[in-house]
């Protein structure tokens, strides 16, 4: 009997990607994977529900996949943050769905599929958990060189704009031995870059070891011989310890790169956001990073248009961006999310003002990025080659995280995907670099 076929569409963040990889591996144990949705008997959309635009993208994708139920698709499934947040409501609004599972319920996937196939009965299971961490065999979807590795789940930072703690639960670290075991398996399978992710990587270990132990984890990961790069994302600037900064400085395998989403710099706005950090400690820790690691690349993320953000608050943020000159920067407009403290706050800001503020920040960053990139002309970098198009190879240096930070382009006839090559930078664009292979 021919195996049923399945397809998975993943949306959202890197943590969601890891969940999708676990789901794909589980489904492959019984069904055949396909990349063409038209061929799938079972279609699964792993949704994002963080902000309004991501919720809309998730809903649009589910409706797009629902079209295939007229032909081959027998079971349409939605999982992820949107379903965790709106489970039964989604089932009512979208009768095309057969199965809805929350972020802690992927172990129930097979029984729900079997029930749907045999009886047509729908399932909606969205179990909230402060203890569960999705682990298990993964089908890595990031190519043959780079893999994300989750070190914790959930979040204890009750930021006023964010629904993640209500979706993912309270902060819980993975056992270090478990993380190292997974990292070694990834290395054995040829992965050369590990990207450390969590809702908050800087607090790793506090709950199970009684203290922050991210620096120890980085040190142990650095002992894995075939791993070349270890990249740190989602670090809270105010939670950075001297030990972590020192480990970045001295550990050759830890990329001189850090992602610290500060969200804002005005103390008034940070207080309203219920962020722990304030301008003084954020500024001090950025200086510490740059003093200890002169070649470090710092990425941040900002929110503009938070309720009550005055023109003065915004100009303080804009001036800070211009003065600090972050290497990489992303900006979101504030999204009024139901169930969060900020959604009920007075002083909600009109969308056109939010967009104007976002545009101002991004125009300033574009100038900064162009200037920073031009200063790289003549420098030599190790570049990880990831793709090829018409004789031009695309790769990344240590300064670039996948999909968000630009690429390095080189022409060659003899490279292989997954190679690390020496590249001398010959030209610079706003976000990308152009180089030549050194013989």
Instruction: Tell whether residue 159 is among the known ligand binding residues.
Output: yes
CB crowding 430-439: b at 16 or more within 10 Å, else e: ebbbbbebee
**Alpha-carbon span 401 to 229, nearest angstrom:** 11
Residue 174 gets which letter from DSSP? P
Burial of 166 (0-12, 13-18, 19+ CB in 10 A): middle
**Alpha-carbon span 215 to 194, nearest angstrom:** 15
- Closest to 403 measured CA to CA, from 389, 422, 386: 386
Instruction: Tell whether residue 13 is among the known ligand binding residues.
Output: yes
Contacts of residue 249, Cβ cutoff 8 Å, sequence gap at least 6: 292, 293
Strands 392-396 and 408-411: antiparallel
- Closest to 153 measured CA to CA, from 139, 135, 141, 180: 135
Output the DSSP codes for 353-375: HHHHHHHHHHHHHHHHHHHHHHT
Instruction: Tell whether residue 162 is among the known ligand binding residues.
Output: yes
Instruction: Tell whether residue 112 is among the known ligand binding residues.
Output: no
Binding residues for [4Fe-4S] cluster: 13, 48, 81, 155, 159, 162
Binding residues: 13, 48, 81, 155, 159, 162
């Amino acid at each position: 009997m021919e195996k049923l076929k399945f397809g998975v569409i993943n949306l959202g963040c890197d943590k969601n990607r890891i969940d999708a990889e676990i789901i794909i591996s589980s489904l492959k144990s019984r069904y055949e994977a396909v990349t063409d949705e038209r061929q799938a008997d079972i279609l699964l959309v792993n949704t994002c529900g963080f902000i309004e635009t991501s919720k809309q993208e998730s809903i649009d994708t589910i409706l797009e996949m629902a079209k295939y139920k007229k032909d081959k698709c027998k079971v349409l499934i939605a999982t992820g943050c949107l379903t965790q947040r709106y489970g039964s409501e989604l089932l009512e609004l979208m009768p095309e769905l057969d199965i809805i599972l929350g972020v802690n319920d992927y172990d129930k996937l097979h029984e729900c599929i079997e029930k749907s196939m045999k009886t047509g009965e729908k399932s909606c299971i969205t179990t909230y958990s402060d203890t569960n961490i999705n682990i298990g065999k993964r089908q890595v979807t990031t190519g043959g060189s780079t893999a994300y590795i989750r070190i914790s789940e959930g979040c204890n930072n009750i930021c006023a704009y964010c629904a993640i703690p209500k979706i993912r639960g309270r902060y819980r670290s993975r056992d270090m031995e478990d993380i190292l075991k997974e990292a070694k398996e990834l290395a054995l399978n040829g992965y050369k870059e590990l990207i450390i992710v969590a809702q908050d990587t800087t607090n790793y270990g506090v709950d199970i070891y009684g203290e922050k132990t991210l620096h120890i984890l980085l040190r142990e990961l650095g002992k894995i011989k075939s791993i070349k790069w270890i990249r740190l994302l989602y670090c809270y600037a105010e939670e950075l310890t001297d030990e972590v900064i020192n480990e970045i400085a001295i550990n050759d395998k830890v990329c001189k790169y850090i992602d610290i989403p500060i969200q804002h710099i005005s103390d008034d706005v940070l207080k309203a956001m219920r962020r722990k950090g304030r301008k003084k400690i954020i500024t001090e820790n950025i200086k510490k990073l740059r003093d200890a690691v002169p070649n470090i690349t710092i990425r941040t993320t900002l929110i503009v248009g938070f309720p009550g953000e005055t023109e003065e608050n915004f100009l303080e943020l804009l001036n800070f961006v211009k003065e600090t000159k972050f290497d990489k920067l992303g900006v979101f407009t504030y999204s009024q999310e139901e169930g969060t403290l900020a959604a009920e706050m007075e002083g909600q800001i009109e969308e056109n003002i939010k967009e104007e503020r976002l545009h101002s920040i991004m125009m300033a960053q574009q100038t900064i990025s162009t200037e920073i990139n031009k200063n790289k002309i003549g420098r030599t970098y190790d570049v990880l080659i990831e793709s090829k198009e018409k004789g031009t190879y695309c790769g990344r240096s240590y300064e670039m995280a996948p999909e968000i930070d630009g690429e390095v382009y080189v022409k060659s006839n003899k490279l292989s995907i997954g190679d690390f090559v020496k590249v001398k930078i010959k030209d610079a664009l706003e976000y990308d670099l152009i180089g030549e292979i050194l013989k």
